[in-house]
Amino acid sequence: MGQDEEDALTTAVAVQEVPRRIVENMKKVIVGKDRAVEQTVIALLCNGHALIEDVPGVGKTMLARSLAKSAGCTFKRIQFTPDLLPTDVTGVSVYNQRTGTFEFRPGPIMAQVVLADEINRATPKTQSALLEAMEERQVTVEGVTHTLPRPFMVLATQNPIEYEGTFPLPEAQLDRFLLRITLGYPSFEEEIAIIERQVQVHPIETIGPVTDPEEIVRAQEAVKGVYVDALIKRYIVSLVEATRKSPEVSLGASPRASLTLFRAAQALAFIRGRDYVLPDDVKELAQPALSHRIIVAPQARMRGLDGRKVVEDILEQVPVPGVRGMA
């Protein structure tokens, strides 16, 4: 093996370790929510965004902050309220009397990791200010386009049980989120561990970066090289297609959902040290990748069904493919 090949192998191994280092560092802050931590890192590796939906006080903000600190990325938090304006998110051009020109004052969206806290409390007009940033990785203010930094990720939170004073996210915006992540309450022992960890200082204050933005960008490119068998691709599309044919669904998942599930499965395999995707990777990520992208029919909602239950039923109905060519 030549020196160039050895250097390439060393670089590949180092890149493979990046997501695992981030996950382990975040676990020092987030107790007992390994799957949620992993899914957050998956969204980062896929150059995507995540919607964190859960009740107050379970660690949604800490999840975002620990990701940003572990990744060595710049972090900004936007508290969404009904009076928040689009320019409060994107930034504004201000006239400089001394120079006689307009200067762009960047908004918090110009950070690498952006926490959009209680996103459903802002008006649709302000919510739409995020659409261009999330999809195009740029913002346009007064006709001038400003490119966002790399990596760029939006972590949005919302409370699923409080509806007064909120504006439901439109389907077009929900579709921009790679995954919908839920944390849930900790177990009895986990809650004791949370108390004990915060006796003197919050763990978020003690962790530091374990990588940097340049390594993350390299890891994002490496994820694209994870092998996905043709049978697994068909399995992914079959799951998405089943959401469109289900009698419980009035609007099924879009083709973007197939690509999302494909990329997320690659990232999960990458985190777990594999260079190929298993059907179990797809099954594990089907709910967080698809459930927020479908609209449940009114009669199904009256029976208590939601997107997660619909996807769960589809996973039971669609046969898992035989696996070949991955030995």
* pLDDT tens sequence across 258-293: 999 999 999 999 999 999 999 999 999 999 999 998
Residue 305 burial by Cβ neighbours in a 10 Å radius (0-12, 13-18, 19+): middle
**Residue ranges per domain, the chain?**
1-199+210-223, 225-321
**How confident is the model over 211-256, as pLDDT tens digits?**
999 999 999 999 999 999 999 999 999 999 999 988 888 888 889 9
Sort strands 113-117 and 101-106 into parallel, antiparallel or unpaired.
Answer: unpaired
Choose the weakest-confidence range: 107-111, 126-130, 236-240, 252-256. 126-130
What is residue 129's three-state secondary structure?
Answer: helix
Question: What's the chain's Rg over C-alpha atoms?
Answer: 21
Print burial letters for 19-36: b (CB count within 10 Å at least 16), e (below 16). bbbbbebbbebbbbbeeb
The Cα 51–Cα 159 span in angstroms is 11
**How confident is the model over 29-68, as pLDDT tens digits?**
898 899 999 999 999 999 999 999 877 777 888 999 999 9
pLDDT at 8: 46
CATH class (in words) of the domain with range 225-321: mainly alpha
pLDDT at 302: 83
- Does the domain at 1-199+210-223 match CATH 1.10.240.10? Answer given as no
pLDDT at 1: 53
The Cα 145–Cα 285 span in angstroms is 35
The Cα 129–Cα 121 span in angstroms is 14
Please check the confidence at residue 124 and state whether its pLDDT lies above 70: yes
**How confident is the model over 146-204, as pLDDT tens digits?**
889 999 999 998 876 555 556 777 777 788 899 999 888 888 998 898 888 888 888 88
